Amino acid sequence: MQEKYLITGGTANEIAAAVEAAVSGGRLAPGTTLPPVREVAITAGVSPNTAAAAYRLLRERGVVETAGRRGTRIRPRPASTFREDISIEAPPGARDLSTGNPDPALLPPLHAALAAAARAHAERPAMYGTGDDEEFLALAAEALRADGVPPGPLAVTSGTLDAVERVLTAHLRPGDPIAVEDPGYTALLDLVGVLGLRAVPMRVDDDGPLPDDLARALRAGARAVVITPRAQNPTGASVPAARAGALRDVLTAYPGVLLIEDDHGSGMVDTPLHALAGVTDRWILTRSTAKAFGPDLRLALVTGDAATLDRLRGRQRLAAGWVSRLLQRTVAHLWRTGAVDQTAVAAAYARRRNGLVTALAERGIQAHGRTGLNVWIPVPDETVAITRLLSRGWVPAPGARNRLTAPPALRLTISSLPPAAIPSLATDIATSLHPPTPAHWG
């Protein structure tokens, strides 16, 4: 270990920056225990108060966590440093199933929509203080009403996480507990860490978060809850009416909790939305356009209670200001013209997803993937399973970055998986998890 060399600097900021640089450069691995404050003070030649302040900065930035008697250690997800996702060196010719991207062939052409947005801009150019596009908001409100979402004010943000970060920052403080799905969306788990919040895991089955786990998290003081009502990443869970009712029953007893629903699957799934919105006093529901129209059309429609939307928009005005009206008009044109056949897109993904889940079941392998772009496969050991699949020409994503306390698993993105390749993939997965016993001679 190199902590004595790495932890240098004459001020708290310099010491914290040295540790961050070591983490970002891979010289301090996640889970590494840092020396006690007094030892850092002696090594760096500073006072114990300065060393303690450096550790406090690192905690606030989500780089380290305090583990009781085990001391201070680098977080599993040190999100305030620039680190790429867990990368896997794929052999030449291997099929990459790790990306989480939609199928480019199922995304709509943008020529007409961009041209329509440009014409509208020429006629009514967006200037400072113009506000969001009226047609975009009207079409979004109509779709929300059709899905049974309670009426509320609307906002437009640069994707779901942009909205979630602003709302969490407005409502919570470092150290506050927040209930999150486990396994859950990697970027959200990273965001929770960098904001200094304490993640309280809720186990997930094919119907979404378990009500008992939600209740347990709320009894433990969770001040916010994040739920994905359909196309949950990474498991594909989708909340049906009965589970939604059970979750509402739990939340009813905690009206002060902030409820965040991430409906990122809107536009590319055909399962109905059973929203929990409105069951608490403070809530938002977000709808991203990235999965249906492409990641570069990065905006999200947000609705919620008036106070929370006011805070969100106020913070947005102080930072980014607004989301490009060219993007809003482009998406409005795609909505208005029905550029994406949601039923056909959902069916295409379902054929690949259900085909793989069924093929694995026929080979004795349990897998999950009710909706969305991914299949989640529990495994005894992620590293072993990945190594064996790489040797057979497949690149899965390790489940480690999606998990808090959930057991090991692999995530496979099926969006571009040819149906004809499913049988061989399922066989290779089964062989990787249950390799044949070698024959013994003698």
Task: Give 221-259 as a DSSP string.
Answer: T--EEEE--SS-TTT-----HHHHHHHHHHHHT-TTSEE
Residue 440, CA distances (Å) to 79, 437 in order: 49, 9
pLDDT tens string 190-222: 899 888 899 999 999 999 999 999 999 999 999
**Which residues share a beta bridge with 224?**
178, 258
Residue 87 lies in a domain: no
The count of domains in the chain is 3
Residue 171 lies in a domain: yes
Instruction: Name the pairing type of β-strands 258-262 and 282-288.
Output: parallel
Residue 130 lies in a domain: yes
**pTM of the predicted model as reported, rounded to 2 decimal places:** 0.85
User: In terms of domains, do 115 and 196 share one?
Assistant: yes
Q: What is the CATH number of the domain that holds 67?
A: 1.10.10.10
**Which residues share a beta bridge with 72?**
66
The answer to whether 237 touches 376, Cβ cutoff 8 Å, is: no
User: In terms of domains, do 101 and 232 share one?
Assistant: no
User: In terms of domains, do 146 and 166 share one?
Assistant: yes
Summary count for the chain: helices (H), strands (E): 16, 15
Coil, strand or helix: which one is 66? Answer: strand
Which structure tokens are listed for 1? 């270990």
Residue 161 lies in a domain: yes
The answer to whether 68 touches 369, Cβ cutoff 8 Å, is: no
- Mean pLDDT of all residues in 233-257: 98
Phi, psi for 307 (deg, rounded to 5): -65, -45
- Mean pLDDT of all residues in 351-360: 97
User: In terms of domains, do 10 and 100 share one?
Assistant: no
Which structure tokens are listed for 368? 């999950």
Q: What is the CATH number of the domain that holds 271?
A: 3.40.640.10
* Mean pLDDT computed over every residue of the chain: 90
User: In terms of domains, do 68 and 101 share one?
Assistant: no
User: In terms of domains, do 281 and 163 share one?
Assistant: yes
- Alpha-carbon distance 63 to 177, whole Å? 17
Window from 55-64, 77-86, 276-285 with minimum mean pLDDT = 77-86
**Domain-terminating residue out of 273, 308, 336:** 336
User: In terms of domains, do 244 and 146 share one?
Assistant: yes
Q: How confident is the model at residue 5 (pLDDT cuts 50, 70, 90)?
A: very low
Residue 354, CA distances (Å) to 17, 129, 207 in order: 47, 48, 16
pLDDT tens string 386-441: 999 999 999 999 998 899 999 999 999 999 999 999 999 999 999 999 876 554 44
Q: What pLDDT is attached to residue 83?
A: 46
Q: How confident is the model at residue 238 (pLDDT cuts 50, 70, 90)?
A: very high
Rounded to 5 degrees, what angle do the CA atoms 67, 212, 150 make? 105
Instruction: Say yes or no to pLDDT of 236 above 50.
Output: yes
User: In terms of domains, do 308 and 411 share one?
Assistant: no
pLDDT tens string 126-155: 888 888 999 999 999 999 999 999 999 999
Query: Peptide bond before 234: cis, by omega within 30 degrees of 0?
Result: yes
28: DSSP letter? S
User: In terms of domains, do 119 and 234 share one?
Assistant: yes
The answer to whether 278 touches 244, Cβ cutoff 8 Å, is: no
Q: What is the CATH number of the domain that holds 414?
A: 3.90.1150.10
Instruction: Say yes or no to pLDDT of 385 above 80.
Output: yes
pLDDT tens string 289-339: 999 999 999 899 999 999 999 999 999 988 888 999 999 999 999 999 999
- Mean pLDDT of all residues in 34-54: 89
User: In terms of domains, do 151 and 294 share one?
Assistant: yes
Q: How confident is the model at residue 110 (pLDDT cuts 50, 70, 90)?
A: very high
- Mean pLDDT of all residues in 149-178: 95
Domain that includes residue 49, residue range: 3-74
User: In terms of domains, do 235 and 307 share one?
Assistant: yes
User: In terms of domains, do 156 and 221 share one?
Assistant: yes
Instruction: Say yes or no to pLDDT of 442 above 60.
Output: no
Residue 83 lies in a domain: no
Residue 80 lies in a domain: no
Q: What pLDDT is attached to residue 79?
A: 57
Residue 55 lies in a domain: yes
